[in-house]
Structures are given as structure tokens and as C-alpha cells.
Amino acid sequence: MIELDAQQKAARTTFETLRDRICAEYEAIEAEAGSDAKFVYTPWNRPDETGAPGGGGVQGLIKGKVFEKAGVNVSTVAGQFSEEFSKTIHGAENDPRFFATGISLVAHMANPHVPAVHMNLRFLNTTKRWFGGGADLNPPIPYKEDTDFFHAEMFKACDAHEPGDYERFSKWADDYFWIPHRNVSRGVGGIFFDHLEIDDDESFNTHLAFVDHVGDAFLKAFPALVRKRMHSEFTAEEEQQQLEWRGRYAEFNLVYDRGTLFGLKTGGNIDAILMSLPPRAIWT
């Protein structure tokens, strides 16, 4: 067990509550499709570099008729970064101690007309405290109306809160989710933000409300898109397109994704970290 202060507890509770709401919605979609698929939850713990308790998390995984593979993970960890890694983390250059709590999810869909999706929301503490995260849509077969709908919900979340800046966060997502060696984007974007810094309880509450609203926007947008497309017929060529696109997704997550690196560098659960990888993919 690790001791948490009031802000850390509030952030963790927010992420766990959001996890429960998302998992319930995914299971409801599976039931609507005639499937009895449910999430399997696997708790894990980690020691920090000194061998002291370093927290842990719960991996949630569902494999069903609609969600070929979807994971919704929550973790709450603390400890010390390695000397080398601490130099790359905001506020840890001279003090390697850290705390992090967050939710991370990826959904790879059975039907290529249904977009895959990613969301991560996190609260990090070093010598500084901040929120970061975002959500982005990853359709193998893009539909402009689906992209516009997803972005509209993210815009509403940004527009309703002082730290929200849709134009900046949308551009940030486009830049971050770019695959340089392919010279293509990973998907059709969304929002990405980092270093929403906490100065006091007021700024904490303001930023937490924004992050929570991003979760609400995800819950409004993504399940609606799944229900809209999950019964669409598809061809073998469209499935091939999906599998090739998944290869690009895997390349990004293994080569460039900062969340994957953070998990590996801090002794996280390997299965939970690599949950983001698709169940099937091809390279041609």
C-alpha cells in the first residue's frame, strides 16, 4: 500500500469511477449484440526501485463479438525513477521521487467499419503536479461524419473549462500521433494535452473537472459510434485494410508512445502496458 493525500485520492477515485462507467457501457453493447462477454479484471502490484511497495493497478480486458479486444486499465503507483529516466520527466530532474494515477484504454473492434479508439487520463506528481492525457479516434475506414462527431464532443469538453484549448490540444494530438517513419497519422486525431499544472486546491479542482469532462465526452461519443457501425457488413478487402492499419498502430505504440515507455521504465505490469497492441495485425 502507498499513502495518498487528498488530491491523489480524488484523482484516483475519478479514474476508477470512469473505468466502471466505461466497462459497463462496453458490456451493454456486447449484450445488445447477443454476446455475454464480460470484462476480466486482473489486479497487479509492483515494488519500486528500492524494493518498497510501489502501488499497482487493475487490468480490465474484454474479448467479445463487438470488441475483438478492449482493455480499460487503472493504475496508482509511486516510487523513484531511475537516474537516467528521471532526467526526461517534468520536475524530476533533481528529485527522482514520483506518484502517478491514471486510466488508459484501447479498443480494437471486430468490424472494420467501427473505429478503434484510445484514451489516457493521468495525474502525475514529481516536484511538480499536473494532469495530462487525451483521446483519439483510429478508424481503419474513416467516415467524415464520425470524425466530426468525435471532435465536436471533445470541443465541448474543452470549451466548458478554463484549461481547455481545443485548437491547441487538437493540433497537439495531430503532432503527437504522427508516425514519422511512415509519414502518416495514426488516426483522425482528437485531443492531447500535458502539464496542466497544479498550484493549489482551486487549480486542482478546475483541472480535474476538465479531465472528468473529457471522460464524459468519450462516453457520449465512442459508444454511439460503435452502435452506429457495429452491424455493418464488410468485405475481406476491408478486413485486410483493418489488419494493415493495426500494424501501423502497433508500430507507433512500440516505437513512439510515451505511455508505453513510462510503464516499462517504472516496472509496471507488462500485460497491462502492452494491452494496447491489437489481437491481430499484418505487415505487407
Q: Rounded to whole angstroms, how far apart are CA atoms 231 and 126?
A: 46
pLDDT score recorded for residue 33: 98
Continuous H helices in the chain: 6-32, 83-86, 144-159, 166-176, 201-229, 236-255, 258-265, 270-273
Helix (H, G, I), strand (E, B) or coil at 135: strand
pTM of the model: 0.95
Give the active site residues: 118
Residue 159 confidence (pLDDT) above 80: yes
Residue 78 has pLDDT above 90, yes or no: yes
Band the pLDDT of 83: cuts 50, 70, 90.
confident
In the structure, what pLDDT confidence band is assigned to residue 73 with cuts at 50, 70 and 90? very high
Amino acid identity of residue 65, one-letter, is K
pLDDT grade for 229, boundaries at 50, 70 and 90: very high
| Closest residue by Cα to residue 151 from 194, 189, 104, 112 | 189
CA distance 85 to 100: 15
232 pLDDT more than 80: yes
Confidence of residue 57 (pLDDT cuts 50, 70, 90): very high
Question: Would you say 67 and 16 are in contact if contact means Cβ atoms under 8 Å apart?
Answer: no
Q: Are 253 and 284 in contact (CB under 8 A)?
A: no
Residue 81, pLDDT score: 87
Confidence of residue 51 (pLDDT cuts 50, 70, 90): confident
- Grid cell locating 168: 491547441
Query: H or E segment at 184?
Result: strand 184-185
Cell of residue 252, nine digits: 507507433
What's the CA angle centered on 62, arms 170 and 41, to 5 degrees?
A: 105
Owner of C-alpha cell 487490468: 59
pLDDT averaged over every residue in the chain: 95
CA 100 from chain centre, in angstroms, equals 14
Residue 63 one-letter amino acid? K
Nearest of 228, 222, 25 to residue 113 by alpha carbon: 228
d(CA 261, CA 162): 30
- Kindly give the residue spans of alpha helices, DSSP state H, lying in 62-185: 83-86, 144-159, 166-176
How far is residue 278's CA from residue 106's CA, in Å, rounded to a whole number? 9
Record the cell numbers describing residue 259, joined without a space.
505511455
pLDDT per residue as tens digits for the range 235-284: 999 999 999 999 999 999 999 998 899 888 888 899 999 999 999 999 98
pLDDT in tens, 88-116: 898 999 999 999 999 999 999 999 999 99
Residue 210: which pLDDT band, with cuts at 50, 70 and 90?
A: very high
Residue 55 binned pLDDT confidence (cut-offs 50, 70, 90) = very high
